[in-house]
Amino acid sequence: MKLLDIPKPFLNIGLFSGKKTSLGIQYSDNFFKLCFLEKKGDEITLPVVPFQLSVPTTDVEEAGSLLKEEIEKRGIDANSITVGLPLGSVLFRTIKLPKTEKKDLEDAIEYNIKEDLKSIKGSTVYDYSVLFEDEEGLLNILVVIAHKDHIDKIYQILNAANLELDIVDTQPTALVNLALLLQEKKEEKEENICIVHIDDDESYIVFFHKSLVVQNLNFNSTKYESLSPDEKENAVEGLINEINYFFLTIHEPKNIYLSGNTFKFPEIKAYSQLKFGTRFNLEDLDPVEALNLKYERNLPLGMYNIPISLAYRGLEK
């Protein structure tokens, strides 16, 4: 069963003559982060400041009611809605298969992931995206497997909010898409895309180069906020050690993009850059630059990179 609509990490950017609007929702059990984008011609704007909404973990109807109330209060009317599943809801696999007819290819994909499907408790759905064809004619394919009950819950919440879901994406691939868009603005292209994303509920490192690797990071940004200066320094040291460990088996990039709550705590970037020296260049994954957003407020938008990228995907569908 295939319900996920997972994008190719390479986006085709087009221009639209009419006005389009899109809502991106970063889904978590305890909160949603939302971004509403509007596009007219080649200009993308933020009619509403991105915001975070706390929701009950188990009460679907109440979560939907709260979502509906906040959207109506802000006058949000979106042509398209894209929701991103968190890392804890999905499993990524990259496989190589010979180029063949679509039906045969899908049969081969299902055969290659059958053990992964068995290893996950409960019902699952999956989708795939062909990343590229190599010199030997083999297709590099990204497969995403998700818990069906997590997707069902998202549909139930949006139904309770009288909203119609268009696309189910994943949060790590949304970050990769945003980084690739930012890469398009650079004179020197980085083949190895690496993103360290720090968020309220989960933090992880994403690496993309002909395949996708995502690894959890043991960094709690909610707890970090209440630490003393010395304790914060120790927490960042631990984060640096995890990044160093990750690159024991992965080819190192020149640049590492920082995303999420690193915009809220700029000392994380400053201290990490000091420790890494010239080994890595730490760069903000800035959505304003990536999307040429018309934005003049003080809120650091990098905290909302995921819903911004999800909303952008809705504009481009």
pLDDT, the chain, mean: 90
66-102 confidence digits (pLDDT tens): 999 999 999 999 999 999 999 999 999 999 999 999 9
Q: Bridge-partner residues for 84, per DSSP?
A: 26, 169
Spans of the chain below 50 pLDDT: 1-3, 6-17
- CB-count exposure of residue 242 (10 Å: 0-12, 13-18, 19+): middle
- What residue ranges do the domains of the chain occupy? 185-291
What CA–CA distance (Å, rounded) separates 207 from 216? 12
185-291 sits in which CATH class?
A: alpha beta
Q: How far is CA 267 from the centre of its chain?
A: 23
> Minimal CA–CA distance to 84: which of 5, 201, 186?
5
* pTM value > 0.75: yes
* Contacts (Cβ under 8 Å, ≥6 apart) of 299: 49, 50
Length of the chain: 317
Q: Which two tokens stand for residue 165?
A: 């879901």
141-179 confidence digits (pLDDT tens): 999 999 999 999 999 999 999 999 999 999 999 999 999
What is the reported pLDDT for 10?
A: 40
Residue position matching structure tokens 């991103």: 84
> Minimal CA–CA distance to 184: which of 41, 317, 292, 284?
292
